[in-house]
Amino acid sequence: MEDAISILRRCDIQPTPQRIAVVECVLTSKSHPSADDVFSGAREKCPTVSRATVYNTLNLLVEKGLLRMQTMKEGAVVFDPNIEKHHHFIDEETGAIYDIPWDQLEVKGKRGLNDFEISEYQVILRGRRKKK
């Protein structure tokens, strides 16, 4: 697994201890951390890191295409390290977000969307995850 420093270098971002902590945290975290989740995690590795640096770094990573920003939960944006195209399922009871592989849903557009130039899309499903 590529380590945080190489990742940062590959993206022309200077690897500082703070940024390394953020990257390590994002990559090992559950799949859809909020900025605050990352902040807490990064604090453990680098106790002096500030809120502003975490936000700055996350935004940098989004700019460079390492993360996607998703506004799905109320009140807070979440970050998605899965940058492949995929859909999302939101458990209405727990709020958990699950990735749905792109090819498990097929979306077919009918006529009538001529006014719009679509650059991307995704399906957002809501419901309950079955306890198996």
Q: Which CB, 75 or 112, lies closer to DNA?
A: 75
Q: Minimum Å distance from CB 114 to DNA?
A: 33
Q: Minimum Å distance from CB 83 to DNA?
A: 19
DSSP assignment of 67-86: -EEE--STTS-EEES--S-E
Q: What is the DSSP letter of 27?
A: H
Across 12-22, b (16+ Cβ under 10 Å) vs e yields ebebeebbbbb
Is residue 19 involved in binding DNA (CB under 7 A)? yes
Among 9, 51, 126, 129, binds DNA (CB under 7 A): 51
Binding site for DNA (CB under 7 A): 13-14, 16-19, 34-36, 46, 48-53, 55-57, 59, 75-77
